[in-house]
Amino acid sequence: MSIDLSNLRQKFRERDYKLTPQRQIVLQVFIDNQDKHLSAEDVHNIVRQQSNDIGLATVYRTLELLSELDVLQKMDFGDGRSRYEINETSTPHHHHHLICLACGKVIEFEDDLMDELENVIAKNSNFTIVDHQVKFYGYCQECRKKRED
Ligand SMILES: [Zn+2]
Ligand SMILES: [Zn+2]
Ligand SMILES: [Zn+2]
- Could you say which DSSP state residue 20 is in? -
| List of residues 6+ apart from 55 with CB closer than 8 A | none
Q: Give the pLDDT of the chain (149 residues) as one tens digit per residue.
A: 456 677 788 888 898 998 899 999 999 999 899 888 999 999 999 999 998 889 999 999 999 999 998 889 899 888 889 999 988 654 556 688 999 999 989 998 887 788 888 899 999 999 998 888 889 999 999 999 998 87
Helix (H, G, I), strand (E, B) or coil at 128: coil
pLDDT at 92: 55
pLDDT at 3: 63
98 CA from centroid of ligand 2 (Å): 9
Span(s) in the chain for CATH 1.10.10.10: 1-90
| Beta bridge pairs of residue 100 | 138
8 CA from centroid of ligand 1 (Å): 34
pLDDT at 148: 82
Helix axes 40-49, 21-32, angle to 10 degrees: 100
Distance, in Å, from the CA atom of 112 to the CA atom of 80, rounded to the nearest integer, reads 27
pLDDT for 102-119, tens place per residue?
A: 998 999 888 778 888 889
Known binding residue 140? Answer is: yes
Q: Domain 92-149 has what CATH class?
A: alpha beta
82 CA from centroid of ligand 2 (Å): 13
Helix (H, G, I), strand (E, B) or coil at 106: strand
Range 1-90: architecture per CATH: Orthogonal Bundle (1.10)
